[in-house]
Structure 1
Amino acid sequence: MRIGIDLGGTKIEGILLAPGGIEVLRRRVETPAGNYHATIATVGSLVSALEAETGCVGTVGVGIPGAISLATGRVKNANSTCLIGHPIEQDLAAAVGRSVRVMNDANCFVLSEASDGAASPLEMPSARIIFGIILGTGVGGGIVVRGEALDGRNAIAGEWGHNPLPWPRPEEQPGPRCYCGKSGCIETFLCGPSLDADYRARGGCAASTREMVLRAENQEDDVAEAALQRYEDRLARALASVINILDPDAIVIGGGISNIQRLYKSLPDRLRDYVFSDSFDTMIVPPKHGDSSGVRGAAWLWSEAEAAELAKLWGTKGLPKRSVGNPS
């Protein structure tokens, strides 16, 4: 059995997968906002609840909105800032009583879709390189090559959201200020809130992104249509810079923006204007598992073979006692 945890800013989701990626149980709880120690304890309680309810013990993988610094072993680059500077891998291991694997949540997302999702060997047998992006409250990215999620020399592989928007228009310069301290980052143009803000700044009045898209599709709102076209062009420019370097077989789009179906039709045509090639064949697809991709990918941080081997060990020796001390 494998347990995946998706540690988000507002919710923590847990899932227990049986061999073959079969979902056995899923639970979701609120994240203790701004409280690192309470967050660690909540993850420990969630793992305990999943195991108590099913009578199973599993490996534990956790996706976080940041990365583990290879220099310090502590969290960096997290938009959930209460995590920054803490040795989360060690603290989580103490909370659940066994080794834990931790990876950036965007990497978990693309690992899920490359393992048994939209870009899996079953769906795309010849695909070797998969780039996954999350377009939600923030903008993240991850890379899987031949089934393995890449973290890179500095643990920032796939962090395209904090590169500048390519080929900026005069009105896009210097760009909005980003929480990372720079201006004009891709994230500031492509996160969900930026689409809404761009629409409203030009007089838009729809109550939600979904309503805005519907009004544009029904030709009821020229402001909405113009905002979506600007967004699509910016997304194409941002992806073209990745394609020109990585040349992936497929791109999987996740996050709330992935529900805008027109993107999958418009993006290939727009990308042909920016990609440095005489042809463009990269597949651009929505996630098979939707919002569940992150938590499933966290479970996939342990292979089925590893999970089976550890289950045998735990069956004979049992699990170590959970730590009752405070995390660091």
Structure 2
Amino acid sequence: MNLWGIDLGGTKIECAVLDSKRNLEVVARMRLPTESAKGYDHILSQIKRLIDMVAEQVGEQPTKIGFATPGVLEPDSQLMKNSNTTCLNGMPLKTDLQEILGVPCQLANDANCFALAEALMGAGKEYHTAEVVFGVIMGTGVGGGLVVNNKIISGHHGIGGEWGHNILEENGEPCYCGKAGCVEQVISGPALERFYERESGQKLTMKVILERYNEGKDPHATATIERLLEFYGRAISTLINVIDPGLIVIGGGVGNVDLLYTAGYERIRKYIFNNGTITTPIVKPKLGDSAGVFGAALL
């Protein structure tokens, strides 16, 4: 049986079809632009168009489809919330998809799909004993997904794994969620770039800030990366203290900073509730930008 997945992103919609009988071999993969500025109904029509194109390529129609979505479907109301593709918020996306596509649809947050794919097809394959896998997203935003025994834990409110909106810095930057000093407003890429600009008066990308840190000649770059490492250590230690996963996989652009896995790991040791002992594997993802769409198919 083929497994169909859609990754509904802010700029692109991607469809992948996996063959469950052939070790999840990729049968087909195709993308279309989301064109979210044209509104909710246009997104639905783009999804339908993409699925029809892929169905023609593989010679069969899907019998069910998994979707990785920005934001999450509220369990009680069955309406979307917390999506940065704002035209999705408040809409009955699952109901509308099932109506327009004529097949059962399963929706999960894109960070949850990332965590599921990495647990089953990516980094998790090297850590077979890890019953609890936490997938961290550290990029433009900060999100996360929790997988226990190969199953996404979406939670009572559908916000399981949302570690990015806990307060990390008292009196910190205001967040769109209504709080201030959230993890996302401290260690996301844009937040770190804003910190550097406040300190130096100069606007630089994280890539250049990291280069300047490595050169050791820019005190503002040093302060920015030190801020990242220290607050990363605090934030990840809280995750470990609460759920103690057997594996943490870190995706997103900031997750490519190699210092997180060395100096950052030592910062976690300072705060973990385990007498300074930490053996949790914390690794980079194996699937690249395929994790979202593969995770959707695995739903």
TM-score tier (shorter): over 0.9
Say whether 1:225 aligns with 2:222: yes
Q: Does 1:116 align with 2:116?
A: no
Question: Equivalent residue for 1:46?
Answer: 50
Within the alignment, does 1:208 sit opposite 2:182 as a pair?
Answer: no
| TM-score (normalised: structure 1) | 0.85
Distance across 1 between alignment mates of 2:60 and 2:221: 49
Partner of 1:287: 285
Counterpart pick for 1:153 among 132, 151, 156: 156
Residue identity opposite 2:268 in structure 1? L
1:131 paired with 2:134, answer: yes
The CA RMSD measured in Å over matched residues stands at 1.6
Counterpart residue type for residue 274 of structure 1: Y
Cα–Cα, structure 1 residues 220 and 289, in superposed 2: closer, same or farther, change >3 Å?
A: farther
How far apart are 1:220 and its partner, in Å? 4.4
Of 35, 59, 63 in structure 2, the residue corresponding to residue 32 of structure 1 is: 35
Is the counterpart of residue 187 in structure 1 residue 184 in structure 2?
yes
On the 8 A contact 2:79/2:93 being kept in 1, the answer is: yes
Alignment partner, residue 255 of structure 1:
252
Instruction: Tell me: CA distance 1:25–1:216, structure 2 relative to 1, closer, same or farther (3 Å).
Output: farther
AA of the residue aligned to 1:290: G
Instruction: Report the secondary structure of 1:73's partner residue.
Output: coil
Amino acid aligned to 1:41: S
Task: Report if the CA contact (8 A) 2:195-2:224 is conserved.
Answer: yes
Residue 205 (structure 1) shift: 4.6
Which residue does 2:194 correspond to in 1?
197
Matches within 5 A, 1:1-12: 1-12=2-13
The 3-state SS of whatever aligns with 2:119 is: helix
C-alpha separation in 1, matches of 2:151 and 2:219: 44
The CA deviation at 1:207 is: 4.4
Query: Bigger relative contact order, structure 1 or 2, given CA contacts below 8 A and separation 6+?
Result: 1
Deviations 1:128-170 (A, max 9, x none): 11111111222111100111111111111111111111xx4xx
**CA distance in structure 1 between the aligned counterparts of 2:221 and 2:148, rounded to whole angstroms:** 37
Distance 2:201 2:262 in 1: 24
Match of 1:243 among 230, 234, 240: 240
Q: Does the CA contact (< 8 Å) of 1:48 and 1:96 recur in 2?
A: no
SS at match of 1:119: helix
1:93 aligns with 2:94: no
CA distance in 2, matches of 1:38, 1:78: 17
Letter in 2 for 1:78: S
User: Take 2:59 and 2:13, find their aligned partners in 1: how far apart are those partners?
Assistant: 21
* Identity across matched positions, percent: 40
Tell me which amino acid in the other structure corresponds to 2:216.
Q
Post-superposition, which runs of at least 4 consecutive aligned residues in structure 1 deviate over 4 A?
204-207
- 1:52-102: CA deviation from partner (whole Å, max 9, x where unpaired): 122243331101111111111111122222111111011111222211110
Give the aligned partner of residue 61 of structure 2. Answer: 57
**Aligned with 2:172: secondary structure?**
coil
Structure 2: unaligned runs, 5 residues or longer: none
Paired with 1:203 and 1:9, the residues of 2 have a C-alpha distance of 32
1:151 alignment partner, SS class? coil
* Cα distance change, pair 277–84 in 1 and its aligned pair in 2 (3 A): same
Shifted more, 48-57 versus 151-160: the winner is 48-57
